[in-house]
Chains A and B, each alone.
Chain A
Amino acid sequence: DTGVSQDPRHKITKRGQNVTFRCDPISEHNRLYWYRQTLGQGPEFLTYFQNEAQLEKSRLLSDRFSAERPKGSFSTLEIQRTEQGDSAMYLCASSLRASGRAGRETQYFGPGTRLLVL
Chain B
Amino acid sequence: AQSVTQLDSQVPVFEEAPVELRCNYSSSVSVYLFWYVQYPNQGLQLLLKYLSGSTLVKGINGFEAEFNKSQTSFHLRKPSVHISDTAEYFCAVTGSSTDKLIFGTGTRLQVFP
- Which residues of A pack against B, CB within 8 Å? 4, 31, 33, 35, 40-45, 48, 56, 91, 93, 95, 97, 101-112
Contacts and interface: CB of A to CB of B under 8 A. Distances in A.
Contact of A103 (B98, B104, B105, B106): B98
Interface in B17-70: 32, 34, 36, 41-46, 49, 51
B51 A107 contact: no
7 contacts: A33-B101, A40-B105, A42-B104, A45-B100, A48-B100, A91-B43, A97-B99
Interface of B: 4, 9, 32, 34, 36, 41-46, 49, 51, 90, 92, 94-106
A93 B99 CA distance: 12
A104 B51 CA distance: 7
A87 to B, nearest CB: 16
Contact of B94 (A4, A40, A103): A103
B47 to A, nearest CB: 11
Q: Is the interface of B mostly helix, strand, loop or mixed?
A: strand
Nearest to A111: B43
Contacts of B4: 42
Nearest to B49: A106
B98 A109 contact: no
Contact of A102 (B41, B99, B104): B99
A106 B104 CA distance: 17
A31 B100 CA distance: 11
